[in-house]
Amino acid sequence: MAYAVQQLINGVTLGMIYGLIAVGYTMVYGIIGMINFAHGDIFMIGAFLSLIALLGLASLGITAVPIALALTLIFAAGLAALYGWTVERVAYRPLRGSFRLAPLISAIGMSIVLQNFVQVSQGARVKPLDTMIPGGFQIMETDGFAVRLSWMQIAIAVTTLFILAVFTWLVTRTPLGRRMRACEQDLRMASLLGIDTGLTISVTFVIGAALAAVAGLMFLMYYGVIDFFIGFIAGVKAFTAAVLGGIGSLPGAVLGGLLIGLIEVFWSAYFSVEYKDVAAFAILIVALIFLPTGILGRAEVEKV
C-alpha cells in the first residue's frame, strides 16, 4: 500500500510536468488547428536557459533560492518566448495559406534544427544541477517503507494548477481570450471582423513557449539532469497527453498529462520499465477508439 501511494505521488508530479507542456500544444492547436512539433524542443531550450541562468547567478554570488528562481524564470521564459515567436514567423506564418501538411513538415524541420543547435552549442553530454529545494516530509510508513512528499513535488503541483487557473481565466474572461476563441472558431471571419489574427497567433505561440520554459525549469530542478534530447521524448508524451485529454481543452491537457504520468510510473513500478512508453501509447489508442475527441474534447462541427 505504501509503495503504491509513493508511486501515485511520483506519477502526479511527472504528469503535472507533461500537462504543463501539453497546454502549449493545445493552445496552438485550438487557434490554427495544427500541432507545433517544435514545442517539445522549446521546452528543452527552456531547461537549458534555466541551467545557464542558475549557474550565471551563482557565479555572481546570488544564491538566495527565491531570488535566483524568480530571475531564472524571467530570463528563461522571456528568451523561450522569443524562440516561440521565431518558430511561428519562420515555420508557420509563411505557410499559413499552404496545404495543411506543409507547416507540419516545417515544424518538424525546426525541431531538428533546435535539437542540433543545442547539441552543438551546449554539447551532447548530460548537464547536472544540484538540488535547490531539498527536504520534504513523511506521510506514512508501512512495513518499513516510508512514503515521502518532497517540497519540490508540492511546488510542481501548485505551480501547474496555478498556471492552469490563470490561463483558463485568460482564455474565458479577457479580450485576448475572446480574440483567441474567435480565431479558433473561424480564422477568416475573425479577420473580417477586425481581429488581428496574425498578432493573436503570435501571442499564442509566445505564451505557449513561456509555459514550456516554466516546465523546463521544473523538470531541471526535479530530475537534476538534462540533455539536448529531452525535448523529443517529453514533447511526444505531452502531445499524447493533449490528445488523450481532448486537444483544444486546457483542463484536458493537464488531465491527459496526469494520466500519462501515472501510467508511466505505475507500469515502471510493477512491470517492465522498458515497455512503459508502449503501455502509455497503447492505452491512448484504446481510449481514442471509444473517445475519438479525447476525454474532455469537443466534437468538431463543420459549417456548411
Q: Is 60 exceeded by the pLDDT of residue 6?
A: yes
pTM for the full predicted model: 0.91
Averaging pLDDT over each range in 16-30, 45-59, 175-189, 233-247, which range is the top one? Answer: 45-59
Confidence of residue 299 (pLDDT cuts 50, 70, 90): low
Instruction: Please state the three-class secondary structure of the chain as a single string.
Output: CHHHHHHHHHHHHHHHHHHHHHHHHHHHHHHHCCCCCCHHHHHHHHHHHHHHHHHHHHHCCCCCHHHHHHHHHHHHHHHHHHHHHHHHHHHHHHHCCCCCHHHHHHHHHHHHHHHHHHHHHHCCCCEECCCCCCCEEEEEEECCEEEEEEHHHHHHHHHHHHHHHHHHHHHHHCHHHHHHHHHHHCHHHHHHCCCCHHHHHHHHHHHHHHHHHHHHHHHHHHHCEECCCHHHHHHHHHHHHHHHHCCCCHHHHHHHHHHHHHHHHHHHHHCCHHHHHHHHHHHHHHHHHHCCCCCCCCCCCCCC
Q: Is 80 exceeded by the pLDDT of residue 100?
A: no
* Cα(138)–Cα(149) distance, integer angstroms: 6
Which tens digit of pLDDT belongs to each residue from 219-277?
Answer: 999 999 999 999 988 888 888 888 888 877 888 889 999 999 999 999 888 887 888 88
